């Protein structure tokens, strides 16, 4: 069957509206997540305070979820989406992608550093699944950023090497992002369990609902971001159609 200009327009419009809806829902759930984590940190400050903690320690305790959720997760999600919405050259997209991922990584490192500031010292907290996953996640993210920087931004690399590495870059990027979401979920669960068992926080309290909604928001957000990232781009579909069109014409 010969594909007409009308077919291209229909497919192009469907792809664009599909991507725009995914971007819209990703931003909406991202906004909800940001509002919920800020609200939790401001309205339930006492949950982050313990008798042995000073005012400065409270700031570090509150900064950890804020930096990890807004700085690390939301920014790295936005960096993943850059290739889906930012107009302009490939070079510009790569530059924005690299910068956003760099800021996200800095927030991640700073967010973990806040946990080293307690009285108990560096190794004292490294007993939990959350802390182990967090270390693996930020280390992978750092390695991925360095490799990405050298292969995509550094002009010295050969093009064939860059093309061969691209699928691994995409896989590792999405895997690390999913790991960051899973780590945040374990952090929320750990904190909430601590509050419910040690501080007698009622299971149906407003704070429990806020934390549960935050966890749900993160799960939704990651779904939209990953789906937008793996959905075929408009240009890929256009090329495939052109290819099948030429095949039809030549046969
Ligand atoms: C991508 C997101 C996150 C990463 C990579 C991460 C990473 C880490 C790491 C590496 C530690 C251990 C630091 C130390 O013990 O000195 C830690 C501790 C902690 N985190 Fe997170 N975190 C994340 C999100 C969250 C969130 C959203 C919360 C919610 C409150 C949270 C709560 C905690 C708590 C209570 C601790 C101290 C207890 C423990 O070590 O398990 N984290 N985090």
Q: Count other C-beta atoms under 10 Å from residue 176's C-beta.
A: 20
Q: Is 73 left (phi over 0), alpha (psi -120 to 50) or beta?
A: alpha
Average pLDDT, the chain: 86
Q: Examine the pLDDT at 13 and tell me if it is beyond 70.
A: no
Q: Examine the pLDDT at 52 and tell me if it is beyond 90.
A: no
Q: Examine the pLDDT at 160 and tell me if it is beyond 70.
A: yes
In terms of Cβ atoms closer than 10 Å to its own Cβ (0-12, 13-18, 19+), residue 203 is: exposed
Ligand 1 pocket residue status of 104, Cβ below 6 Å: no
- DSSP annotation of 201: -
For ligand 1, atom 28, name the residue with the nearest CA. Answer: 187
Q: Examine the pLDDT at 206 and tell me if it is beyond 50.
A: yes
Q: Examine the pLDDT at 121 and tell me if it is beyond 70.
A: no
Q: What angle do CA 23, 221, 197 make, to 5 degrees?
A: 165
Ligand 1 pocket residue status of 66, Cβ below 6 Å: no
Report the atom number in ligand 1 closest to the C-alpha of 128.
41
Phi, psi angle pair for 52, to nearest 5°: -85, -10
Report the atom number in ligand 1 closest to the C-alpha of 115.
16
Q: Please give the pLDDT value at position 95.
A: 92
Report the atom number in ligand 1 closest to the C-alpha of 132.
10
Q: How confident is the model at residue 1 (pLDDT cuts 50, 70, 90)?
A: very low
What lies within 8 Å, CB to CB, of 64 at 6+ separation is 111, 112, 114, 115
């Amino acid at each position: 069957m010969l594909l007409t200009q009308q077919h291209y327009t229909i497919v192009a419009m469907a792809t664009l509206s599909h991507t725009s809806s995914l971007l819209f829902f990703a931003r909406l759930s991202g906004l909800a997540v940001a509002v919920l984590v800020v609200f939790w940190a401001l309205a339930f400050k006492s949950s982050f305070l313990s008798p042995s903690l000073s005012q400065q320690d409270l700031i570090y305790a509150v900064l950890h979820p804020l930096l990890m959720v807004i700085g690390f997760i939301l920014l790295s999600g936005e960096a993943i989406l850059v290739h889906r919405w930012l107009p302009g050259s490939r070079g510009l997209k790569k530059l924005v992608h690299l910068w956003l991922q760099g800021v996200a990584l800095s927030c991640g490192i700073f967010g973990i550093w806040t946990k080293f500031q307690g009285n108990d010292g560096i190794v004292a907290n490294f007993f939990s699944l959350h802390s182990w996953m967090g270390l693996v996640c930020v280390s992978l993210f750092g390695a991925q950023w360095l490799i990405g920087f050298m292969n995509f931004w550094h002009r010295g690399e050969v093009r064939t090497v860059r093309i061969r590495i691209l699928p691994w870059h995409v896989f590792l990027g999405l895997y690390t992002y999913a790991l960051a979401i899973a780590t945040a979920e374990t952090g929320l669960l750990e904190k909430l369990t601590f509050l419910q068992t040690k501080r007698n926080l009622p299971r149906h309290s407003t704070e429990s609902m806020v934390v549960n909604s935050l966890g749900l928001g993160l799960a939704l957000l990651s779904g939209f971001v990953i789906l937008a990232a793996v959905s075929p781009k408009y240009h890929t579909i256009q090329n495939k159609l052109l290819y099948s069109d030429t095949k039809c014409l030549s046969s």
